[in-house]
Amino acid sequence: MPEFSVAHLAHAVGGEVVGDGSRAIDGVAALESAGPREMSLVANRRYIAYVPATRAAAVLIATEFVDEIPGTLTQIRVANPHAALRGILLLLYPPVHPEPGVHPTAIVAENVQVGTGVRIDAYSVIGSGAVLDDGVFIGAHTVVGEGCEIGMNTVLHPHVTLYPRVQIGAECVIHSGARLGRDGFGYALVDGEHQKMPQVGGCRIADKVEIGANTTIDRGSIGDTVVGRGTKIDNLVHLGHNVRVGERAIIIAQVGVAGSSIVGDGAVLAGQVGVSGHLTIGAGARVAAQAGVIGDVSPGETVSGYPARPHREALRSQAAAFRLPSLLKRVRAVEKALLRRTKEAPDPGK
Amino acid sequence: MPEFSVAHLAHAVGGEVVGDGSRAIDGVAALESAGPREMSLVANRRYIAYVPATRAAAVLIATEFVDEIPGTLTQIRVANPHAALRGILLLLYPPVHPEPGVHPTAIVAENVQVGTGVRIDAYSVIGSGAVLDDGVFIGAHTVVGEGCEIGMNTVLHPHVTLYPRVQIGAECVIHSGARLGRDGFGYALVDGEHQKMPQVGGCRIADKVEIGANTTIDRGSIGDTVVGRGTKIDNLVHLGHNVRVGERAIIIAQVGVAGSSIVGDGAVLAGQVGVSGHLTIGAGARVAAQAGVIGDVSPGETVSGYPARPHREALRSQAAAFRLPSLLKRVRAVEKALLRRTKEAPDPGK
Amino acid sequence: MPEFSVAHLAHAVGGEVVGDGSRAIDGVAALESAGPREMSLVANRRYIAYVPATRAAAVLIATEFVDEIPGTLTQIRVANPHAALRGILLLLYPPVHPEPGVHPTAIVAENVQVGTGVRIDAYSVIGSGAVLDDGVFIGAHTVVGEGCEIGMNTVLHPHVTLYPRVQIGAECVIHSGARLGRDGFGYALVDGEHQKMPQVGGCRIADKVEIGANTTIDRGSIGDTVVGRGTKIDNLVHLGHNVRVGERAIIIAQVGVAGSSIVGDGAVLAGQVGVSGHLTIGAGARVAAQAGVIGDVSPGETVSGYPARPHREALRSQAAAFRLPSLLKRVRAVEKALLRRTKEAPDPGK
């Protein structure tokens, strides 16, 4: 494992050292578990309480918290601790780049184009007409269908399936068990039977997209299913046929987006969100966990609940729901009061 | 790619040509992206607006919309545009039937029965005693457990797992990553530990069933888990042990059905629906997306929400929930009005 | 298939025979489908109605129901019918232990430690530095990453992926398509792009854990993701980075737990539950199906709904919601009554 001084790490991430910059660091750990050669971080106010007892050699601290940190622990102060942490992790845990080469058990069709620096691991199967650009990594057991195209430095982990003619951009990461380009869920009702509608569209993934384990993205029925540049998709997500996701969107685990819906640039769909078909989620919109979206969402809006509606409104309505049982009692009391008065004091107007 | 005249396609699907039937068609695309050798369709009123600007050579139109279509675009008029589209797509994009044969890397146990016209792709593993009927296709890397039976012309895509003794009918399609016949989630609490209950039942899939990518269908604990003829199941669905799904049901992505529940013929479970164990969803019932079913659903009924209840009732209650905050204010006003009167105008009956 | 007398089975599970203990039994089936050489069970009062018509040779009955069982069917009476059923199933359907050995197509790196009695099936790939303890079973096509450790008698079914350095205890069962140790979903926003945060933590699964098909458990970002001893996890579950699940917990299908949350010992998360990040579900807590947990749950508490709250409270609020439309009407009537009186009978105080 590599080892660096606190001062070296601070310099690498543009931070300021306060304390002993000469201490040696060979790892990063949480405050409560870090050892004397590890550094830790305080990116969130709630972790300040763990600082006094930590054995860490140094701590990465957001500038905004420096006045609240007790004791004399060596610090690296930075404005953006997450970005700095990323830089430090990349130094201490340098990514392993497997050697290029084609494993003898890989089955690569004759007319596949393979760029330089490509690695194709054991038992993978690359279909005819596929194009693997420079630096592509194909994990063990991954199946790349006929005519697929994979961009530079993209990594397919083991056990991925690409159905035929899927296009993936550069610098993507596709995790184990992802299934891209499956024939979508479309049927025509003919003579009382569901007859499969041929799914002749494509599945296009732009550059710098990450797709989680066991996630499924169906191909288009007519026209393509599309995921935009820089979008990150977590595990067990489902995107139906002809869904179009914009750039830099975040789609968290177990989200499902039904056919032909559009997810705008920078939108965030939290875990287990469901989006019905043929809807538009505007750019920068945020959908809270488990929300069920059955209508369009405006750009920048935050929605929650089922059916999803503006978050403030949903919160007010939830708060009111809590008070429903007592409200019922109050209405009953009001009714009784009115009734009593009517009986005891006959309407003076009569 | 095949090419046909508009007139030929119209004839093939029983449609009526209005305009130039001689134009050549070699593909189908959406109205806004179609080129001059492609045809498009208007199956839904909302797409009529795209007709004036389309470059499509012709358009498939539901008879009911013909009076609303502007311009002089060549038309194929049909009563059921989805059925007609299916016919046209099958002509223009004829399905590829892979050559029969057993890939040299496939591992087929000695006593497997293999019908005529079967294809077994690279690295697949077929366990002893399995039966593959005529025309079966086994995709790369698919594992068929001991004693499984697979009916005529059924397709298993790459990376499917069949646990031992799973039975699949004819003309089924099983997508990548589907796991059929897993030991279900059953335990006996013995001495404070969850001890696995042996799952000795089967998993039987009838004819013409489609099962989506990464879907899991557990085997029965005692007795079988069953999916009926013509039922279509989307991606990432879970069916627990001893679930029985009827014929022609539709189960959309990410649905979960807990153990021993019954889904009737023709029922529709929309995306992310959850059904608790030991329940019955009646024939033809419809369960709206994300609904949580915790009681039986009558045949033909439509339910939604959590807990799922008749859709109209759920809608009324949702609408009322929207008005809750204002209702709270109104009750407060009524209470004040009553109180004020009591104070200012002592009860006349006293 | 083995065959035993009713008396032998009763003796094996500590039950009492009432009726003909000499009858031969070779299987277990549901009351309505059992044949004359099979036994069945009544573990639940609702199945008593099926007893009169059953063809079963004998029936396993919970002591508490014996007075309600009609007819003269041979019985095995026990206090805990599930535990007894388990014992009987293990006798009648003895688990198959595959022969030890390494399939010639398995790729095992040179420095892998392989214990005695290990079986490594076709096309599996074992990365360098991995440790497989005695009796481990590696199913076909399973990929074990570099440096993984797998404890005694643990079973990995076909098509499992272990990312590097995953640790699994003894006597675990990992089902097909499970993905353990994936790099978690963490990004730092740098210059408007989501940059992957290196995920340098581990993924540790303790002894006697079962993990369902297509379930995903991400590795920790810093520090480990942990699943405790005896915990059982169903299909299609997602556990995010740094989640810590205690011992003997039950996590049912399609549950999602976001990063850094803690699930206490013996807690039960029912199907499709979602848990937000950085929360604590107390020991023995129960979360009802589809609930959305957005705050801590106290030990032993039962919560339901979205947002999850104590189950009684949620039920009361649901019941009140049913009555909302009528409540609206009642408030309107009260308002009218007040208004009418004000108009018809001018306030006497004036």
Q: Residue B241 catalytic?
A: yes
Q: Does A87 touch chain C (CB under 8 A)?
A: no
Optimal mutation site among C185, C236, C244, C294, interface A, most CBs of chain A within 10 A: C185
DSSP state letter for A44: S
Nearest CA-CA partner of B239 in B203, B188, B286: B203
Distance between CA atoms of residues A332 and B76, nearest Å: 64
Helices (H), chain A: 6-12, 81-92, 311-322, 324-344
Q: What is the mean pLDDT of chain A?
A: 94
| Euclidean distance between CA atoms A298 and B116, whole angstroms | 56
Residue A320 to residue B331, Cβ atoms within 8 A: no
How much is the average pLDDT of C304-331? 87
- Let me know: does C98 contact C115? Beta carbons within 8 Å: no
The answer for A 226-265 residues in CB contact with C (under 8 A) is 230, 232, 234-236, 248, 250, 252-254
Q: For residues A301 and A84, what is the distance between their CA atoms, to the nearest angstrom? A: 30
Question: Angle A311-322/B311-322 helices, nearest 10 degrees?
Answer: 100
Task: Determine the pLDDT at residue B225.
Answer: 98
Mean pLDDT value of segment B85-113: 95
Percentage of residues of chain A with pLDDT beyond 70? 97
Q: Which residues of A touch B305 (CB under 8 A)?
A: 306
The confidence score (pLDDT) of residue C216 equals 98
State in Å, rounded, how far the first CA of chain C is from the last one.
Answer: 95
C294 touches chain A (CB under 8 A): yes
Of C55, C85, C96, nearest to C73 by C-alpha is C55
Q: What's at C43, amino acid-wise? A: A
For A303-337, what is each residue's pLDDT tens digit? 999 999 999 988 888 888 778 888 888 888 888 88
- State ipTM: 0.94
Average pLDDT, chain C: 94
Instruction: Please determine, for residue C337, whether its predicted confidence score (pLDDT) is greater than 90.
Output: no
A345: confidence class by pLDDT, cuts 50, 70, 90: low
* Cα-based angle A97, A140, A138 (whole degrees, multiple of 5): 55
Name, in order, each residue with C-beta under 8 angstroms of C169's C-beta and a sequence gap of 6 or more: C151, C154, C205, C206, C207, C208, C209, C229
pLDDT at B343: 65
With CA atoms as reference, report the closest residue to C180 among C196, C168, C197, C198: C168
pLDDT at res. C344: 57
Q: Give the integer Cα–Cα distance in Å for A165 and A219.
A: 9
Please report, for chain C, the start and end positions of each structural domain, with discontinuous segments joined by +: 4-92, 101-312, 314-344
Rg (CA), chain A: 28
Q: Which of B238, B254, B287, B317 has the highest number of chain A CBs within 10 A, making it the mutation to test binding with A?
A: B254
* Residue A166 · residue A148 · CB < 8 Å: yes
Q: Which fold has domain B101-312?
A: UDP N-Acetylglucosamine Acyltransferase; domain 1 (2.160.10)
Contact A217, A227 (CB under 8 A): yes
Residues of chain B contacting A177 with CB distance shorter than 8 Å: 159, 177, 214
Question: Given CB atoms, is B298 within the 8 Å cutoff of chain A?
Answer: no
- SS3 labels along chain B: CCCEEHHHHHHHCCCEEECCCCCEECEECCCCCCCCCEEEEECCHHHHHHCCCCCCCEEEEEHHHHHHCCCCCCEEEECCHHHHHHHHHHHHCCCCCCCCEECCCCEECCCCEECCCCEECCCCEECCCCEECCCCEECCCCEECCCCEECCCCEECCCCEECCCEEECCCCEECCCCEEEECCCCEEEECCEEEECCCCCCEEECCCCEECCCCEEECCCCCCEEECCCCEECCCCEECCCCEECCCCEECCCCEECCCCEECCCCEECCCCEECCCCEECCCCEECCCCEECCCECCCCEEECCCCEEHHHHHHHHHHHHCHHHHHHHHHHHHHHHHHHHHHCCCCCC
How do residues C151-189 score in pLDDT, each as one tens digit? 999 999 999 999 999 999 999 999 999 999 999 999 998
Nearest Cβ partner of A330 from B123, B318, B331?
A: B331
Cis peptide before C158 (omega within 30 of 0): no
Nearest to B161 among C95, C158, C306 (CB): C158
CA-CA-CA-CA torsion sign (C164, C168, C171, C172)? negative
The pLDDT value recorded for residue A117 is 97
Task: Say if residues A165 and A182 touch (Cβ distance below 8 Å).
Answer: no
Q: How confident is the model at residue A348 (pLDDT cuts 50, 70, 90)?
A: very low
Return the pLDDT at B314.
87
pLDDT digits (tens, 9 = 90+) for B205-253: 999 999 999 999 999 999 999 999 999 999 999 999 999 999 999 999 9
The rounded Cα B27 to chain-centroid distance in angstroms is 26
Give the tokens for residue A340: 């009593």
Measured between CB atoms, which of B141, B240, B320 is closest to C328? B320
pLDDT tens digits for A122-145? 999 999 999 999 999 999 999 999
Q: List pLDDT tens digits, range A97-126.
A: 889 999 999 999 999 999 999 999 999 999
CA dist C253 and B240 (Å) reads 9
Helix (H) or strand (E) holding C312: helix C311-322
pLDDT > 80? residue B100: yes
The sign one gets for the Cα dihedral A290, A293, A299, A304 is: negative
Cβ of A159 within 8 Å of Cβ of C163? The answer is no
pLDDT of residue A256: 98
Residue A281, amino acid? I
Q: What percent of chain B has pLDDT over 70?
A: 97
User: Residue A26, exposed/middle/buried by CB under 10 A (0-12, 13-18, 19+)?
Assistant: middle
CB proximity under 8 Å: A 151-190 to C: 157-159, 173, 175-177
What number is the average pLDDT over the span C207-220? 98
Is C218 close to A235, i.e. CB distance below 8 A? yes
Give chain A positions within 8 Å (CB) of B173.
Answer: 183, 196
If 0-12 CB within 10 Å is exposed, 13-18 middle and 19+ buried, where does residue C50 land?
middle
* Res A179 pLDDT > 80: yes
Strand partners, A203: A166, A225
Those residues with Cβ within 8 angstroms of residue A96's Cβ, 6 or more apart along the chain or in another chain: none
Task: Out of A311-315, B35-39, B194-198, B306-310, pick the least confident.
Answer: A311-315
Beta bridge partners, A318, equal: none
The residue assigned the tokens 């004829």 is B94
Number of A/B CB contacts below 8 angstroms equals: 180
Is the separation of the CB atoms in B313 and B295 below 8 Å? Answer: no
Q: What is the distance between the terminal CA atoms of chain A, rounded to a whole angstrom?
A: 95
The candidate with the shortest Cα–Cα distance to B187, out of B179, B178, B197, B198, is: B197
What is the pLDDT at residue C343?
65
Pick the range with the lowest mean pLDDT from A211-215, A245-249, B46-50, C248-252: B46-50
Which residue of chain A comes nearest to C318, CA vs CA?
Answer: A321
Of B216, B222, B254, the CB nearest to C29: B222
Per-residue pLDDT, A327:
84
Closest listed residue to residue A172, CA positions, set A113, A107, A127, A217: A217
Average pLDDT over residues C335-339: 84
- Report how far residue C107's alpha carbon sits from residue C125's, in angstroms, rounded to the nearest whole number: 5
Structure tokens at C22: 């000499």
User: For residues C116 and C136, is the Cβ–Cβ distance under 8 A?
Assistant: no
Asked whether the whole model's pTM tops 0.80, one would answer yes
State yes or no: cis peptide before A307, omega within 30 of 0: yes
Collapsing DSSP to helix, strand or coil, C205 comes out as strand
Which positions of A are catalytic?
A: 241
- Report the CATH number of the B4-92 domain: 3.40.1390.10
In chain B, which residues have their Cβ closer than 8 Å to the Cβ of A316? 324-325
The pLDDT confidence band at residue A350, using thresholds 50, 70 and 90, is: very low
Residue B346 clears pLDDT 60, i.e. is over it: no
Contacts of A107 in chain B (CB under 8 A): 105, 122-123
Of the candidates C321, C258, C255, C310, the residue with the CA atom closest to the CA atom of residue C286: C310
